Chain A
């Protein structure tokens, strides 16, 4: 199949990208603003010999994913913020039992039931594990419909490679907007490497496989945690992704997802004034792209983090900068989206040294 260029809604483009990445099983529960993903999967997966289940709850959906991922399939679930809170139990089990799977969160305003407008206030939940225990998930924060398509393939690859759950953190804006996208070629699931650890039934070929996260002996439980830690270190060293636009700048705006699009426009505008401002855009939110910060932090005069939250990623920016330059923050929350003018005004404060 040739590379097709199409105008697609974000949620549908993401769903099609998952199918083309070899995903054959989807388990979900309706919640706005991600409903186009399960709706698309409900007719698309049967076309390619896959299965769609509308689960009775977010808990059931994530546990079906744990079952299907454990059984060796490429599988996914999607939801939005309140639903993803419910899924945390299963994500913790998947991380501990080393079961691959992809979880999409089209983030909406919170806390509680919040609203249905875009937000980035689930950053902590996504990048700190989210459920109980010492674990991390790989987290992508795409900023265009095309990038959502691109990271879906990568998400399934990394989930399988590291046997770990991978989160794609979109937002209501990205899910609902339409943009032209180039779709990738399809991966045939039969062509993927065999997973010798999967629960397929022994089929007379091997001793039983056990997928488990119970370790009553604390020494063994610590060993599991150490094993996961080593895996997370490897991921941190190999899988950081970020975009550095205008790398010769002196000041940097740091933003991901929808906010990064707004910040790119704001940075373009202030550069016309002759200001040396660049954009540092994390694509992986965990592992956080600290190596990209290292490239510029020695000469940077300041970092402005912009988020659709009260300030969550800014903590990681401060850790990456580690006191070597001032770090400023501007955020809107609850479903409010910052405007280009608001960001320009914040950049002006940073560059012109205004009090904060």
Chain B
């Protein structure tokens, strides 16, 4: 991958540039897709924590399958749904490596449900970036486990969209994983506005800190758009996300080891 050389005009200063943890390539993502934002946030956190040279990404199957081309770190590409198991193998061999998976909702919440639940159960010291766009993107817009009731996809077609009596209800991953003691940090953010994106980055950093501190598994669910398969403009997709996805997938922190530690410290202080 050739690095492009930019000449900085005299008298100017750099206020915004590509994070070191991203490669200098054009991605294959569709215009309007929020994967680019998610990639950038993860790369900024890797840069800020100074862990790029001991980082390993496990790419999954779906639109983000080529993540190994975009993150400038060691990479292993995993079979559909198996990224947390692959990450487990890598992390156990190199406990000082910083290992993260980057998975979509088909990958993590359908075919890989067992792998993510049990990686969290074991308290694997890995970080999971979970992209929830309520649809299978790469394969052309089929129903995902996270597809909303009534949402039309190519396998839950109009006029009814997803019918609960035939296809059940959307799965809430953060709520489910937050019940597991091995999960150190579980949070959900939306890549829908500058404010929400800033919050997403704070959560991502915390999910990496959970790993660095040896506290357990950190997972951040990022509500994302798939404007192409949703058949909307990028702007309308962001509005649709906020209006329809956020009520079903409430934003916030579902589990946080540091809050529990803080509460315990406060309790001891009171008791002491």
Contacts and interface: CB of A to CB of B under 8 A. Distances in A.
B65 interface: yes
Contact of A201 (B56, B89, B117): B56
Given A63-B89, A67-B89, A70-B89, A201 B65 contact: no
Interface in A167-211: 199-204, 208-211
Which of A53, A65, A199, A212: most chain B CB closer than 10 A? A199
B77 A213 contact: yes
Interface in B75-112: 75-79, 82, 85-94, 97-98
Contact of B118 (A51, A56, A97): A56
Given A55-B85, A63-B78, A71-B93, A210 B53 contact: no
B72 interface: yes
Contacts of A204: 53
Contact of A208 (B75, B89, B121): B75
Contacts of B93: 25, 67-68, 71-73, 75
A316 B58 CA distance: 39
A65 B93 CA distance: 10
Contact of B85 (A51, A67, A209): A67
B56 A199 contact: yes
B86 A202 contact: no
Contacts of B78: 63, 66-67, 93
Contact of A70 (B55, B59, B76, B79): B76
Nearest to A52: B92
B256 interface: no
A19 interface: no
B89 A212 contact: no
Interface string A22-43: 0001010000000000000000
A66 B75 contact: no
A202 B73 contact: yes
B55 A69 contact: no
A53 B88 contact: yes
Given A67-B58, A201-B73, A59 B85 contact: yes
A97 B77 CA distance: 9
B114 interface: yes
A60 B94 contact: no
A90 interface: yes
A355 interface: no
A68 B76 contact: no
Contacts of A213: 77
B77 A67 contact: no
Interface residues of B, number: 39
B68 interface: yes
A75 B94 CA distance: 13
A85 interface: no
Given A67-B89, A209-B74, A212-B75, A90 B82 contact: yes
A199 to B, nearest CB: 4
A64 interface: yes
Q: How large is the interface on A (under 10, 10 to 19, 20 to 34, 35 or more residues)?
A: 35 or more
A57 interface: yes
B115 A56 contact: yes
Contacts of B90: 67-68, 70-71, 199
B70 to A, nearest CB: 11
A209 B77 CA distance: 11
Contact of B115 (A63, A210, A214): A63
B54 interface: yes
A60 B92 CA distance: 14
Nearest to A65: B89
B94 A51 contact: no
Given A67-B85, A212-B68, A201 B115 contact: no
A59 B75 contact: no
B53 A202 contact: yes
B138 to A, nearest CB: 11
Given A60-B118, A63-B115, A201-B73, A89 B89 contact: no
B32 to A, nearest CB: 22
A25 B94 CA distance: 12
Contact of A60 (B55, B72, B85): B85
B114 A57 contact: yes
B114 A56 contact: yes
Which of B76, B98, B115: most chain A CB closer than 10 A? B76
A72 B76 CA distance: 12
B29 to A, nearest CB: 15
Contacts of B58: 67
29 contacts: A53-B122, A55-B85, A55-B118, A59-B85, A60-B82, A60-B118, A66-B78, A67-B93, A68-B90, A68-B93, A69-B89, A72-B93, A75-B89, A93-B79, A97-B76, A199-B76, A201-B54, A201-B56, A202-B54, A208-B72, A208-B74, A208-B75, A209-B75, A210-B68, A210-B69, A210-B75, A211-B76, A211-B77, A214-B65
Interface of A: 25, 27, 51, 53, 55-57, 59-61, 63-73, 75, 89-90, 93, 97, 199-204, 208-214
Given A64-B92, A93-B79, A211-B76, 15 more contacts: A56-B115, A56-B118, A63-B115, A65-B89, A67-B91, A71-B94, A75-B89, A201-B55, A202-B73, A202-B74, A208-B73, A208-B74, A208-B75, A210-B69, A210-B74
The 7 closest A-B pairs by CB, nearest first: A67-B89, A201-B54, A68-B89, A56-B118, A63-B85, A67-B86, A71-B93
